[in-house]
Amino acid sequence: MSGKAENIYLVGLMGAGKTTIGKVLARRLGWRFVDSDHEIEARTGVRIPTIFEIEGEEGFRRRETQVLRELTGLRNVVMATGGGAVIAEENRRLLRDHGLVVYLDVSPAQLYERTRHDRNRPLLQVADPLRRLQELLAAREPFYREVADIVVDGNRCNAQAVVQLLTREHENLCNP
């Protein structure tokens, strides 16, 4: 089995479905599911907005890179990464070097619908969250595409269809 296929890392903006799809995919593959955001919360004992309040985004990014260094050392893991994990070059290299990277490509309008009632995303606590999502996508899309081995349209498919697609993709890689 190639090194790439020993882990699957999901990247994409807030609301792309990384956590939702990652959990189902891990169950399907019999792998462990990890969520880098949840790992950061578990280690600090506070929610992400509190980390942003106390340490700023910069402090959160430092913690995120530390967690990614550790989590990419595991094998047979499906990982949901934070929406901004791809910004740092080191993080992109860690993901590329240790697993198959999947970008869940979802439009800002869909992302907005999926995240509008959730207060746990500090970057979206602004007057116009849809606009913020559009700006974040414009800034990050090159990074998502650069790091990804596979781009999946996460708009129309339901989560189950995406999981089926990725399971097939994984089987093809392991049994070419």
Ligand X SMILES: Nc1ncnc2c1ncn2[C@@H]1O[C@H](COP(=O)(O)OP(=O)(O)OP(=O)(O)O)[C@@H](O)[C@H]1O
Ligand Y SMILES: O=C(O)C1=C[C@@H](O)[C@@H](O)[C@H](O)C1
Stretch that binds Mg ion, among 80-88, 99-107, 127-135, 145-153 (CB under 5 A): 80-88
Residues near 117 by Cβ (< 8 Å), separated by ≥ 6? none
When asked if residue 140 is in the footprint of ligand X (CB under 6 A), the reply is: no
When asked if residue 19 is in the footprint of ligand X (CB under 6 A), the reply is: yes
When asked if residue 159 is in the footprint of ligand X (CB under 6 A), the reply is: yes
Measured from each CB, the residue nearest to ligand X is: 17
Within 49-78, the residues that bind ligand Y by CB under 6 A are none
Its sign, for the CA torsion 25, 21, 12, 75, is negative
* Contacts with ligand X, 73-92, as mask; x by CB under 6 A: -------x-xx---------
Least Cβ distance, residue 23 to ligand Y (angstroms):
15
The alpha carbon of residue 151 and the mean position of all alpha carbons in its chain are separated, in whole angstroms, by 13
Identify whether the C-beta of residue 16 lies closer than 8 Å to the C-beta of residue 83.
Answer: yes
Token code pair at residue 96: 């590329």
Task: Please say which residue, 19 or 173, places its beta carbon nearer to Mg ion.
Answer: 19
Q: How crowded is the C-beta side of 100, counted as CA atoms within 13 Å?
A: 24
When asked if residue 129 is in the footprint of ligand X (CB under 6 A), the reply is: no
Measured from each CB, the residue nearest to Mg ion is: 19
When asked if residue 14 is in the footprint of ligand X (CB under 6 A), the reply is: yes
The annotated binding site for Mg(2+) is made up of 19
Identify whether the C-beta of residue 6 lies closer than 8 Å to the C-beta of residue 148.
Answer: no
Number of CB atoms found within 10 A of residue 139's CB: 11
**One of 4, 5, 6, 19 touching Mg ion (CB under 5 A):** 19
Identify whether the C-beta of residue 34 lies closer than 8 Å to the C-beta of residue 71.
Answer: yes
Stretch that binds ligand X, among 7-15, 39-47, 52-60, 132-140 (CB under 6 A): 7-15
Token code pair at residue 48: 């992400």
User: What residues line the site for Mg ion (CB under 5 A)?
Assistant: 18-19, 80
